């Protein structure tokens, strides 16, 4: 339905998949080929290739052609945009909370664990 999709939406939806986040974590430790990336996952090479295309479209990774392999490299710039958006809104919301002195929502802030369950 969304023919044209803004950058932010592309990045967020690319990050909305555990497999793709795992791929990014893998790449954070060093560049890798498609097969190296695909190896730990319980899915076909083609499926991983699709995920890489999504990440590439969101410009979270870029790829070069070295002989017959297509090494994947992280692209930091995109993540800065997302971090910027988040930070802006965090600030607004934090301000709102101080002003309104709402319910003791601050108590929930002790929970800082984000569990991931890859397949």
Residues in touch with DNA (CB under 7 A): 1-3, 13, 16-17, 19, 33-36, 42-47, 49-54, 63, 67-71, 119
| Phi and psi, residue 17, nearest 5° | -125, 125
Element spanning 40, H or E: none
Per-residue contact string for residues 19-58; x = within reach of its own copies by CB under 8 A:
x-xx-xxx-xxx---------xxx----------------
Ranges of H-type helices in 1-119: 7-15, 18-28, 34-38, 45-57, 76-100
Minimum distance from CB of 64 to DNA (Å)? 11
Chain-centroid distance, C-alpha 32? 17
Element spanning 106, H or E: none
Q: Which does 109 bind (CB under 5 to 8 A by kind): its own copies, DNA, none?
A: its own copies
Q: What is the DSSP letter of 67?
A: T
Minimum distance from CB of 108 to its own copies (Å)? 5
Indicate the residue among 6 and 68 with the shorter CB distance to its own copies. Answer: 6
Q: Which two tokens stand for residue 13?
A: 């939806």
Cβ within 8 Å of residue 17, ≥6 positions away: 51, 54
Note the residues at the interface with its own copies (CB under 8 A): 2, 4, 6-9, 12-13, 15-19, 21-22, 24-26, 28-30, 40-42, 73-77, 79-87, 89-90, 92-94, 96-97, 101-102, 104-105, 108-109, 111-119
């Amino acid at each position: 339905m969304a023919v044209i999709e803004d950058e932010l939406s592309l990045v967020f939806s690319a990050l909305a998949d555990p497999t793709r986040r795992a791929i990014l974590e893998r790449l954070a430790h060093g560049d890798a080929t498609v097969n190296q990336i695909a190896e730990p996952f319980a899915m076909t090479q083609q499926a991983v290739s699709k995920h890489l295309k999504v990440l590439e479209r969101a410009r979270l990774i870029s790829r070069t052609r070295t002989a017959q392999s297509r090494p994947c490299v992280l692209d930091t710039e995109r993540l800065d945009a997302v971090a910027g958006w988040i930070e802006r809104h965090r600030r607004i919301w934090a301000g709102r909370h101080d002003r309104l002195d709402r319910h003791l929502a601050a108590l929930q802030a002790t929970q800082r664990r984000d569990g991931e369950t890859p397949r």
